[in-house]
Amino acid sequence: MSVHHKPPEEFMAPSGIGPELALQGSRSQSILGRLLPARRPPLNGNAGACRCRTRRRKKLVVVLLRRGFDVLRLQGEEYVILHKQDQLWWRAQDKHGNKGFIPSNYVTEKNRIEANSWYCKNITRTEAEQLLRQEDREGGFVVRESSQKGVYTVSVYTKTLSATGDIRHYQIKITDTGQFFLAEKYTFGSIPDVIRYHEHNAAGLVTRLRYAVGPMGRCVPATAGFSFEKWEINPSELTVMKELGSGQFGLVRLGKWRAQHKVAIKAIREGAMYEEDFIEEAKVMMKLCHPKLVQLYGVCLQQRPLLIVAEFMENGCLLNFLRQKGGALREAWLLSMCQDVCEGMEYLEAHSFLHRDLAARNCLVSEHNVVKVSDFGMTRYVLDNQYTSSNGAKFPVKWSPPEVLHYSKYSSKSDVWSFGVVMWEIYSEGRTPFENRSNLEVVNDITRGVRLYRPHRASQSLYAIMYRCWHEKPLGRPTFSELLEQIRKLAENPD
């Protein structure tokens, strides 16, 4: 586990204060303080040393996203990055000279495509269509990444073709000389220039780009903790609102942190886990930050039961969501859910982190129906033998590959097997895999090469992806990176 050295005192936020600080000075500056702490004098009154340090780094970034209801004016503010303290929190200075830490996933370099209000990186074709239909405005559009890396697509909504609305997708193309264009060859030196032109001219598109549709919260990522190096949370800062349910470790409740941010609070039942080991691992898990992972914010150690504070997901468990609403979801949306899970798992794979218990019950659904992977790595700390032993009744036999069932050998390829079962759960609308078979019968079936059947809502090409995850040998299974590429291609070419 990497150790981060604390920054000099003059750049630290006051004790116990996170990203929602207020700056000293006028009211017009107070919003900036939601991400930056109040300016503090340098040590020993050495103001000159501080100024020199700032001049050394000139990288300018712009805030992309809003956080909460009271940070609306923050979007578009510019900061100079002083130091990338780690990959998640950067030390920065605003235009008034105030210094502090900002979450790196809330900013981008000023001239990058991400700085534009019409761009959303983490959005699928299906999700783009949903946003545009919800907005229901002629010429509404978003710009997103295509299934091809480095290629961008403009999705446009129009009612000129039908009263119910139609969506067209245009790939932004590039000439041999590096010029960008859309439907007709009106070429420009940058993508923003292409968009600006088509905001005033249809020029081959079904309609001109009239209205940039924002991501409506679905692209806003959680931050890794509430502030830099803050992983322990004071329980007095939490307000419990209502019970959400119970899980493997204990009760889960909806709460608020500092009466402002909604969070999920998991109370760990005494004797349910190896607490000391988990606390150390939690510090690492907090640094795993991705839009398709449920973010761990911190833990409360000052009382028992131990409390885990995590991102709150409004629509709850994916399994229940599928059972209640799966029949109303189009096939394209089911594929989008598979893509969400695969993106989260690709990130874990790239960071050499294993889930070990990937299943629909361990994925959660946001307010905008984005699926995020939850409870990654937690099974290592369970004390329940029925859950951790392949002989136990609670062990997830129906989601496990042969090498786990017989030898307890876990790898990213065992997670790939489980992902194939999650895809099956999604396309079967939440049915239980091998539902009429006992665990012992399932072990024998899997060992003999029996695999889950094709759900009636899964196409042959989709089932082929699913089936590849269930190769007997780990090396015969694809990586999550390969799976994601296949799913993206299928999403862009659904027919």
Range from 297-301, 425-429, 471-475 carrying the lowest mean pLDDT: 297-301
State the pLDDT at residue 147: 73
Q: What is the mean pLDDT of residues 8-24?
A: 32
- State residue 208 phi and psi, 5-degree precision: -75, 160
Give every CB contact of residue 394 below 8 A, 6+ residues apart in sequence.
Answer: 384, 386, 387
Domain ranges of the chain: 9-113, 116-212, 235-311, 318-492
Q: What is the mean pLDDT of residues 386-399?
A: 71
pLDDT higher than threshold 60 for residue 357 = yes
Identify which has the larger pLDDT, 300 or 54.
Answer: 300
State the pLDDT at residue 338: 97
State the pLDDT at residue 131: 86
State the pLDDT at residue 169: 92
- For the 318-492 domain, the top CATH level (class) is mainly alpha
d(CA 225, CA 19): 10
Percent of the chain with pLDDT over 90: 33
Q: What is the mean pLDDT of residues 243-257?
A: 83
Identify which has the larger pLDDT, 215 or 200.
Answer: 200
pLDDT higher than threshold 50 for residue 172 = yes
Nearest to 305 by CA among 270, 254, 253: 270
The side-by-side arrangement of strands in the sheet containing 306-311 is 238-246, 251-257, 261-268, 306-311, 296-300
Identify which has the larger pLDDT, 64 or 346.
Answer: 346
Q: pLDDT band for position 274 (50/70/90)?
A: confident
State the pLDDT at residue 266: 87
State the pLDDT at residue 395: 76
pLDDT higher than threshold 60 for residue 62 = no
Percent of the chain with pLDDT over 70: 69
Helix (H, G, I), strand (E, B) or coil at 348: helix
Q: What is the mean pLDDT of residues 319-333?
A: 93
Helix (H, G, I), strand (E, B) or coil at 251: strand
State the pLDDT at residue 36: 40
> Would the pTM of this model clear 0.75, i.e. be above it?
no
Question: What is the Cα 325 distance to its own chain's centre?
Answer: 22
pLDDT higher than threshold 60 for residue 22 = no
CATH number corresponding to 9-113:
2.30.30.40
For 462, which DSSP code? Answer: H
Q: pLDDT band for position 390 (50/70/90)?
A: low
State the pLDDT at residue 360: 97
Q: In the chain, what's the furthest Cα-to-Cα distance?
A: 75
Q: What is the mean pLDDT of residues 186-206?
A: 88
Q: What is the mean pLDDT of residues 281-308?
A: 83
State the pLDDT at residue 289: 84
Start-to-end CA distance of the chain, whole Å, equals: 46
Any idea which residues carry the catalytic annotation?
357
Identify which has the larger pLDDT, 482 or 23.
Answer: 482
pLDDT higher than threshold 60 for residue 44 = no
Q: Which fold has domain 116-212?
A: SHC Adaptor Protein (3.30.505)
State the pLDDT at residue 285: 77
Q: What is the mean pLDDT of residues 137-142?
A: 91
Nearest to 38 by CA among 82, 81, 93: 93
Q: What is the pLDDT of residues 484-495, one digit of tens each?
A: 999 998 988 765
pLDDT higher than threshold 80 for residue 50 = no
State the pLDDT at residue 136: 87
Q: What is the pLDDT of residues 89-120, one digit of tens each?
A: 667 777 777 777 666 655 555 556 666 778 87
State the pLDDT at residue 41: 37
Give every CB contact of residue 12 below 8 A, 6+ residues apart in sequence.
Answer: 6, 37, 40
Range from 152-161, 416-425, 442-451 carrying the lowest mean pLDDT: 152-161
State the pLDDT at residue 93: 73
Identify which has the larger pLDDT, 434 or 224.
Answer: 434
Position 292, amino acid: K
CATH number corresponding to 235-311:
3.30.200.20
State the average pLDDT for the chain.
77
State the pLDDT at residue 31: 29
Say if residue 489 carries a ligand binding annotation.
no
State the pLDDT at residue 119: 83
pLDDT higher than threshold 70 for residue 78 = no
Identify which has the larger pLDDT, 380 or 16.
Answer: 380
For 162, which DSSP code? Answer: -
Q: What is the mean pLDDT of residues 228-245?
A: 79
State the pLDDT at residue 412: 93
For 363, which DSSP code? Answer: E
pLDDT higher than threshold 60 for residue 426 = yes
d(CA 6, CA 176): 49
Q: What is the mean pLDDT of residues 207-220?
A: 70
- State residue 404 phi and psi, 5-degree precision: -80, -45
Q: What is the mean pLDDT of residues 263-275?
A: 78
Range from 77-81, 246-250, 461-465 carrying the lowest mean pLDDT: 77-81
Q: pLDDT band for position 235 (50/70/90)?
A: confident
Q: What is the mean pLDDT of residues 58-63?
A: 48
